[in-house]
């Protein structure tokens, strides 16, 4: 099976880290919807949100999701990709969807450790540690209902990859 593999989950859950490793192991291409959006539009997510608002950003994100979708590829998605039902349906219809599940406290720790890498403004302007728990309350049911498989992504990245590979091999059997 060479259907696209979509990685979903909150910011900091490891989509980029795990996606890179997984794509190398499978010999697949790696795509990141955030990266695609920013390179194709030649501006940062923060700029799009500041200038055009979140709804416009979400529309461009949906376009990027469709644009990067191809067989034999791993697609890391933005944390809010599941907020549009058509994105969820698209991913489920076109590939296998894995939720990299991580508790809010661990997510906040990871993001605090690398504040310079933040490219996206927080949704509420509050510190990420406070915000994460509230966001997850709303989004976890959406991640769960969109995912074909839920993966414990608090494990080290290589173990996360191994567990995804195991799921995929069971499907091929």
Q: At closest approach, how far in Å is the CB of 173 from ligand ADP?
A: 26
Contact 58, 80 (CB under 8 A): yes
Nearer to ligand ADP, 53 or 156 (CB): 156
Residues from 91 through 110 that contact ligand ADP (CB under 6 A): 110
Which range in 12-20, 50-58, 85-93, 134-142 contacts ligand ADP by CB under 6 A? 12-20
- Strands across the sheet containing 29-32: 29-32, 73-76, 5-8, 96-101, 149-152
Considering CB distances under 5 to 8 angstroms, the limit depending on partner class, which of ligand ADP, Mg ion, none binds residue 17? Answer: ligand ADP
Q: Is 153 in the site for ligand ADP (CB under 6 A)?
A: yes
Measured distance CA(52)–CA(70) in Å, rounded: 29
Does position 16 interact with Mg ion (CB under 5 A)? The reply is yes
């Amino acid at each position: 099976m060479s259907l696209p593999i979509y990685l979903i989950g909150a910011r900091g859950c490891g989509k980029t880290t795990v996606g890179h490793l997984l794509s190398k192991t499978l010999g697949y291409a790696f795509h990141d919807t955030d990266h695609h959006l920013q390179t194709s539009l030649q501006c940062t997510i923060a700029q799009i949100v500041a200038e055009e608002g979140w709804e416009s950003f979400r529309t461009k994100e949906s376009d990027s999701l469709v644009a990067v979708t191809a067989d034999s590829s791993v697609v890391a998605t933005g944390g809010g990709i599941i907020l549009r039902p058509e994105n969820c349906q698209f991913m489920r219809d076109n590939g296998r969807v894995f939720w990299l599940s991580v508790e809010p406290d661990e997510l906040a720790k990871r993001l605090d450790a690398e504040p310079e890498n933040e490219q996206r403004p927080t949704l509420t302007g509050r510190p990420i540690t406070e915000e994460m728990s509230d966001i997850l309350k709303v989004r976890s049911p959406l991640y769960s209902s969109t995912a074909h498989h839920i993966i414990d992504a608090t494990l080290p990245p290589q173990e996360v990859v191994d567990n995804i590979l195991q799921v995929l091999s069971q499907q091929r059997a």
